[in-house]
Amino acid sequence: MIETIGRALLFDIDGTLANTDPLHLKAFNAVLGPRGHVFDHARFSRELQGFANVAIGERFLPDETVERRTAILGEKEEVFRALVAGQIEPLAGLMALLDRADAAGIPMVAVTNAPRLNAELLLSGLGITHRFRALVIGDELPHGKPHPLPYQEGLRFVGASAAASVAFEDSRTGVQSATAAGIPTIGIRTSLSHTDLVGAGAVASAGAFDDPELLARLAATIAW
């Protein structure tokens, strides 16, 4: 295998590699519902999807101490991990795409606002931890998504050029983060519409990784 210098594929995790958003919605309602915040799918996609827990705590738990917010949202993540255990399925076409990238020597990076425990659980559950050169956790940086820093860090880890790479995202904040870093971004329509994703800055959208238009655009951008 000959490594391709300067190009990379960067992936969000939740809602992109696997459609986990319905389980996040259920977990948020289990923990925030008794505290007066109940979410349907539309409200989830606007106000929770893609945001770091720090920002969620500031918005929905303003009267709690920082320590208490952390504990409450940690409880939410425990509920999510219990729900998702044994239920992780890759989005259609994902494994074939990862195989093709590996064969072409194109490094891959996972970039997420999810807590590290969640991210590692999902990658492990999908059996793809070894595929990624780096795992970038937004909460472990000075700025998470929608700031460009998480994706800038992902590019830095593999020495890739933003313009020669491609990112995959399912949330507005994620698309905004990747595009602000200068990376052409394909929106994955697990929760949001084409209009929503392109409105956030995506160059295109797809329902899954086996979408012929996605594969054609990817081939044109990556030139593998």
Which residues are tagged catalytic?
12, 14
DSSP 161: -
Instruction: Please check whether residue 169 is in contact with residue 109, taking contact to mean a CB–CB distance below 8 angstroms.
Output: no
Task: Give, to the nearest 10 degrees, the angle between helix 149-158 and helix 172-180.
Answer: 60
Q: How far apart are the first and last CA of the chain?
A: 13
For residue 211, give the amino acid letter: D
Query: Is 57 exposed, middle or buried, given 0-12, 13-18 or 19+ CB atoms closer than 10 A?
Result: buried
Query: Is 81 exposed, middle or buried, given 0-12, 13-18 or 19+ CB atoms closer than 10 A?
Result: middle
State how far the Cα of 2 lies from the Cα of 104, in Å rounded to an integer.
7
Instruction: Please check whether residue 211 is in contact with residue 184, taking contact to mean a CB–CB distance below 8 angstroms.
Output: no
